Structure 1
Amino acid sequence: MVKQVYELYSLRWQMEWLFKAWKSVLDLEKVKEMKKECVECHLYGTLIAIVATQTFLFQARMYWHQKEDIQISERKALDLLQSYWHQLLLRSHMAEINLFSLLSLLRKHAKKGRRKGEETASDIVTKLEIW
């Protein structure tokens, strides 16, 4: 029981890290003074971006886990996706999302590194039968 509480507590830190990553990657700390309506619009747009990104990342992580037993790093994937979205927006006249190439980029550049003897969040969730 004590070990399970400890493992759940370690997942708490994973959640805090995820919020910190969203704040950093999506530039949430850089909101200038503006009208209430503009702040709400910016907030809703950011939340939509988070939901869309996390939904895609969840599917991509499941895909590579089931296909090749590869774990994708959340932070590396967020950084990669941010770069990809910016490039896509800059080339909006040629806007075409190639999901297969994006999946391949995630596999190549966002693999989770494992420290010897340490469990990842996925390992803990699976072991506790939460997943």
Structure 2
Amino acid sequence: MKKITLAFVLSALSLASVGTATAEEGLQPLPPRYEIGGNVNNFDPKTSTITIDGKPYVITSKTTVWIEDDTGNLSTLPLVGFTIPEGTSVYYELAGNGQLLGVLIKLAASDSKETKR
């Protein structure tokens, strides 16, 4: 019984150290899986308003914005000076009051060339 318990504890410790090592090696964080998807109709950087499938949403300081390029690289950079082409795919989450909590903007290869930073 003691050998089995000891083996289990050692296995758990080794898995914990592997998890710690990979986190320290700089793996990219994964964005949340947003259930609602749509397409961008318009993005107005002056008012921080993104229109998705005809509905405008204001991006506030409480909104988490993820940007994924065509190679799968993720960033959470601010949208200052950013252009989002019409038709860009997005996934998002809303609060109970309809406020935009988070949005994942998925840029296609052609979008990456057109998008300005």
TM-score by length of 2: 0.24
More strand by share: 2
Larger Rg: 2
TM-score by length of 1: 0.23
